[in-house]
Every structure is written in C-alpha cells, then in structure tokens.
Amino acid sequence: MFGFHYRLERKAIGLVLAIIGVASIGGIVEIAPLFTIHQTVEAAPGMRVYTPLELAGRNIYIREGCYACHSQMIRTLRDEVERYGPYSLAVESKYDHPMLWGSKRTGPDLARVGGKYSDEWHVAHLNNPRAVMPESIMPAYAWLSRTALRADDLGGHLRAMRAVGVPYTDEMIANAPNDAYGQTAPDSPQAESVTKRYGEATNVRVFDGAPGALTEMDALVAYLQILGRLTDAAHKPVAAVGSR
C-alpha cells in the first residue's frame, strides 16, 4: 500500500489525476441532490419579499455582526421545536442573500422572533439589553436610535437583490426610499403605497417610538418583527404546503 503511494507521488500527473478523482466524488455527492431541488423545497406562492425598510434592517443586522451570536435556523430536534417553534424550512430563506442559518447561539435563535415581543421591548433591549434581560452579555446599540437611516440608495439594494432572484418590480425599486419612510409613518400618504406594493399584512407603524424621523433603529426593529413571518409554510402540514 505504502509502496504504491510512494510510486504515485513520484508521478506528478498521476497524483493530480488521483486528487481530481477523489475530489470529484465529494463534488458529485454535494451537487447531485440539487437536481431534485424542486422536489425537496416546499412551494410557498404567498411568500412576500422584504420591504425596503426591512431589507435595510437586515443589512444593519449583518453589518453589526448579529449573526455571529444568533442563528436563524431551528433544527428538527424536539427541544428546539418546543422552545422556538416549527423547524425551519428551506423555502423560508429563499429571499435571503446571504442566508443566516447556522448553529452558533451565544444568544437565542431568532428565526421566529417576529411578533413575539413588542416594538417597545425590542427598542429597550437594543438600547440596553440588561434592562430587560439582566443576564444578557449582548452589547448595547443605543446609537441606532440617534442615527438617521440612509434611504437614497435603497433602490440599488433592491436592484441587487433582484439580480440574484428576488422578484422586486421596477415600481418597488423606484419607490424604495418613499416606501421606507411610509412604513414608519402610518398617517402619511406613503403608508398606503407600502401596503399596496407589499401587502395588507405589512407592518406599518413607528417602530422606534419616535415619529417623524427615519432611523436605523426603525429599520432593525422592522426586520426583527418580520423574521419567520414572510410565509406561513412552516405552520402548515407538509402535504398541504407541497400541493399548493
């Protein structure tokens, strides 16, 4: 056995071919299942896309490294399902680029945190985590409430997402800055346009508790409040989801 290996090492071309052969086996094992992806990923026709404000919040979530301590993937283990809710489905992350799965949980999993707490709770938690969770080791993000959200480039963010498959329309892209403001100003003319473009179930309210100003806190709370709520596929029987 070792003699064969020593002879192989002396023949560079043979060694390269052997490496390619072994690597190809691993590649086939990983790639082959993708040919059946349409059979393994549930259909969710009613799934909606992130609004410009929610997408901005997601970008802030990534920028601040929140994914390093919070996963967004509930596994099929009984203790996880009992604590966090239905296990995560692949279709729930179809519009996530990049996806934020993982298993690192310095903090709890956030896959279904949307609607679990009030906006006021999230703002208080982000301003000073120890105020609501005394044992928390999470850093404070109070400055998000004092930082205006840059909205003029949101159309570009939506356009980039469309390039990788998210079905944003030209109208959504053109109106992204106005829609971001309208989602935090329920009494404004822009608010009606947001629900018209993204659906009546869209959260339209003053997320950070301070009307009149569009802040990064607004965006991050809006994102947290939609996690797990873009589709209700996980709450339906598998057969029912696949048959739609």
Per-position b or e across 89-114, b if 16+ CB within 10 A of its CB: bebbbbbeeeebbeeeeebebbbbbb
- In the prediction, which pLDDT does 98 show? 92
The residue ranking higher by pLDDT, 17 or 146, is: 146
Mean pLDDT (the chain) is 90
- In the prediction, which pLDDT does 44 show? 80
Confidence of residue 4 (pLDDT cuts 50, 70, 90): confident
CATH entry 1.10.760.10 includes domain 52-235: yes
- Using the predicted structure, report yes or no on whether residue 228 has a pLDDT greater than 90: yes
**Closest C-alpha to 225, from 133, 147, 112, 94:** 112
CB 180 within 8 A of CB 52: yes
pLDDT in tens, 120-145: 999 999 999 999 999 999 999 999 99
pTM: 0.83
Tokens found for residue 217: 């806190």
Mean pLDDT to the nearest integer, 88-115:
92
- Using the predicted structure, report yes or no on whether residue 241 has a pLDDT greater than 50: no
